[in-house]
Structure 1
Amino acid sequence: MPVSNEDAEYTRDQLIRFQKIVDQIRAEVPGRYKAHVLQSAGTLAFNEPTFEIVRAGIMLYGISPLPEFRELLKPVMTWKTRICLVRDLPRGSSISYGRTFIAPQNMRVATLSAGYADGYPWHLSSRGAAVLVRGKRCSLLGRVTMDLMVIDVSELDEVQVGDNVVLMGRDGSEEISCSELGEKAGTITWEIVTRIGARVRRVYV
């Protein structure tokens, strides 16, 4: 259903057509088999029973493709990394490739062991992205590199190498949602969750 979250009338017409095709196949090809047509958005948008199976994709992550259902689902995934370096930088210092960020004042920064090779979007560079350290938002500085990124920790006390950093998820009362990352990177939530690389360790709880 290509527009189940955008055009209800068109989608209902498609459902009717698909039902006719399924009925014809079942009449001509005996057997016990099941049909499906709705993905996550269609499953949420259409309450009436539609065939035997639904293709729950993004819903399995607890993420709704429809704004009106976002409070219904709870994200099931948190993406974390760790601080691998903390440095004090003087005013005028540049950060990362291209020198796209120049420190406007003396700053304390932390390098994180995650980059676009892990699936963190390069397009979040210089777009106001943030991470969570000890429940506080810390701005991403400069460009995301293959294996590393740099954040501003000037407002935090006693930040240490090894501290946990939330790239996506909740820490205390703050949250970096998948939708926020997608919007700032100019992409969709599906791409954010499915591009997380194999070297990112999975912990199932």
Structure 2
Amino acid sequence: MDWLGLTPDEWNAVRLSIKVATWAMAGSLPAGILIALLLARGRFWGKSILNGIVHLPLVLPPVVTGYLLLLSFGRRGPIGAFLADNFGIVFSFRWTGAALACGVMGFPLMVRAIRLSIEAVDSKLEAAAATLGANRLWVFATITLPLALPGVIAGMILSFAKAMGEFGATITFVSNIPGETQTLPSLIYTFTQVPGGDAGALRLTLISVAVSMVALVASEALARRLGRQVHVE
């Protein structure tokens, strides 16, 4: 990999970005599936409000989202103080906080992809399984989820790609600390602020584009493959 000409700090940023994006995706997946299922199949008061809250990070400035996370999960925030005092979990100015910020920013994309996939599942199949005595959890695990799997995979990879490129919320919440919270976008920003940093910024920009494109192409290919398997079965 030396042919890429990356410095140790640049490699650290690449590795940290992948680590943060992976944890952001994995950590938000259970909640993403649950919320998507509620929005796709649920009938309850406040559904539109829940949908609005889920998609709020898409329309809010990322800096605002990061600031709200800082107020909530910072050491003096109500949630952050509780987690730090009782469980020793600290998010602010840690890589875990970067993962949290990236997970929040990518959550709407994940939920939307999974929700659309669940809505595409024929509800008659679920009703037929229920009439045979299957409970709701079993119906979801054996009917809904397998048929919606292409959307789940697509949502996961979209969340990963979004996390790889997240900057505004991350730098507001966890700052730009080398080796701890300095991801690819943060290091690119740093390079643009110093004389002679254009070459480093360009290298990392090309890597970011390549990783995101690979993720999107893999998402499309895997979703198609899983879709064909589901139709065949």
Q: Provide TM-score, normalisation by structure 2.
A: 0.25
Q: Which has the larger radius of gyration?
A: 1
Q: Provide TM-score, normalisation by structure 1.
A: 0.27
Comparing both chains, which one has the higher relative contact order based on Cα–Cα distances under 8 Å and sequence gaps of 6 or more?
2
More strand by share: 1
